[in-house]
């Protein structure tokens, strides 16, 4: 087989990069709930065509962060109690058991990765990083990954991505960071010990407590 000609490889497309930028702006509240997203304005600001803009918006729509209104365009989807109920209910059905199974299959390398994710999360919380919801998601997924198949990872990733806005909203409530740090440490210790029943109990309580707080805040 002959050696192929050297070509320049682009690691990430424009639409991928734009998706990350717009997603973070929505999650951080830079683009508020219910606000329209003008494709022309974005294309002009980044000096690109409208094609990658629409591709990025379609992905954000799949994440539930924007919605498309006929003849009006894309708008930022508001936070709602109904969506919070739906997302966190599904997490309660899947994540506690998946986390327990992850603990039972974890290698020493998996344990190091999970511990590193927890340390990064606590560091993000301490410095009030506006993206600390991302670190929260990575920690939760690290506890699941040792035993989860690709479908489980895909579903839980999607649920945690959708939940990210609610997690960030939740983190702004009084004393939530302190409580969440304690709960995460308890989860980590139990996960390392491999106590399946206790892990399921702690994870279910952790997710349920967040949902209960959101129920009170999202009238």
Query: pLDDT for 114-125, tens place per residue?
Result: 999 999 999 998
First vs last Cα of the chain: how many Å apart? 65
* Averaged pLDDT for residues 21-26: 89
Question: Rounded CA gap, 188 and 103, in Å?
Answer: 10
Higher pLDDT, 1 or 208: 208
Query: pLDDT for 80-108, tens place per residue?
Result: 999 999 999 999 999 999 999 999 999 99
Question: Rounded CA gap, 198 and 205, in Å?
Answer: 11
Tell me whether residue 58 is in a domain: yes
Residue of 171, 96, 81, 100 lying closest to 133 (CA atoms): 171
Question: Is there a single domain that holds both residue 184 and residue 152?
Answer: yes
The overall average pLDDT reported for the chain is 89
* Two tokens, residue 75: 């708008």
Question: Rounded CA gap, 42 and 76, in Å?
Answer: 14
* Averaged pLDDT for residues 3-26: 72
* Domain end position, chosen among 53, 76, 99: 76
* Domain end position, chosen among 76, 92, 110: 76
| pLDDT at residue 164, rounded to an integer | 87
Tell me whether residue 92 is in a domain: yes
* CATH number of the domain encompassing residue 38: 1.10.10.10
| pLDDT at residue 174, rounded to an integer | 64
Q: Check: CB of residue 43 under 8 Å from CB of residue 50.
A: yes
Domain that holds residue 40: 14-76
* Two tokens, residue 154: 């895909």
* CATH number of the domain encompassing residue 141: 1.20.120.530
Question: Is there a single domain that holds both residue 105 and residue 143?
Answer: yes
Question: Is there a single domain that holds both residue 210 and residue 138?
Answer: yes
* Two tokens, residue 5: 């000609």
Tell me whether residue 9 is in a domain: no
98-129: buried (b, 16+ CB within 10 Å) or exposed (e) per residue? bbbbbbeebeeebbebbeebbebbbebbeeee
Question: Is there a single domain that holds both residue 182 and residue 200?
Answer: yes
| pLDDT at residue 133, rounded to an integer | 84
* Averaged pLDDT for residues 183-198: 95
138-142, 163-167, 195-199: least confidently modelled range: 163-167
Band (pLDDT 50/70/90 cuts) for residue 7 is very low
Question: Is-above-0.95 flag for pTM?
Answer: no
| pLDDT at residue 37, rounded to an integer | 92
**CA-to-CA separations, 119 to 11, 116, 144, in angstroms, rounded:** 29, 5, 17
* Domain end position, chosen among 34, 50, 76: 76
Higher pLDDT, 218 or 190: 190
Q: Check: CB of residue 98 under 8 Å from CB of residue 152.
A: yes
Tell me whether residue 147 is in a domain: yes
What percent of the chain lies above the pLDDT cut of 70? 94
* Number of separate domains in the chain: 2
CB count within 10 Å of CB 165 equals 26
DSSP state at residue 168: H
Question: Is there a single domain that holds both residue 56 and residue 109?
Answer: no
| pLDDT at residue 144, rounded to an integer | 97
Q: Check: CB of residue 75 under 8 Å from CB of residue 67.
A: yes
Tell me whether residue 6 is in a domain: no
Tell me whether residue 2 is in a domain: no
Band (pLDDT 50/70/90 cuts) for residue 2 is very low
| pLDDT at residue 115, rounded to an integer | 97
Question: Is there a single domain that holds both residue 93 and residue 69?
Answer: no
* Two tokens, residue 174: 């009084």
The answer to whether residue 10 scores a pLDDT higher than 60 is no
């Amino acid at each position: 087989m002959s050696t192929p000609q050297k070509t320049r490889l682009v690691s990430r497309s424009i639409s991928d990069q734009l998706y990350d930028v717009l997603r973070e702006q929505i999650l951080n509240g830079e683009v508020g709930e219910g606000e329209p997203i003008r494709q022309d304005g974005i294309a002009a600001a980044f000096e690109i065509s409208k094609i990658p803009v629409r591709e990025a918006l379609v992905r954000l729509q799949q994440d539930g962060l924007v919605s498309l209104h006929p003849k009006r365009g894309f708008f930022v989807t508001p936070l709602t109690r109904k969506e919070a109920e739906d997302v966190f209910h599904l997490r309660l059905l899947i994540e506690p058991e998946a986390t327990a199974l992850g603990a039972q299959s974890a290698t020493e390398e998996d344990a190091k990765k999970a511990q590193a994710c927890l340390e990064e999360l606590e560091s993000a919380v301490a410095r009030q990083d506006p993206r600390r919801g991302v670190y929260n998601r990575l920690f939760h997924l690290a506890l699941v990954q040792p035993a989860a198949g690709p479908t489980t990872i895909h579903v839980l990733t999607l649920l945690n991505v959708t939940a990210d806005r609610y997690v960030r909203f939740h983190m702004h409530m009084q004393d939530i960071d302190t409580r969440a740090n304690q709960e995460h440490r308890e989860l980590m210790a139990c996960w390392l010990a491999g106590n399946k029943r206790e892990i399921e109990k702690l994870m279910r309580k952790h997710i349920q407590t967040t949902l209960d707080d959101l129920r009170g805040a999202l009238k």
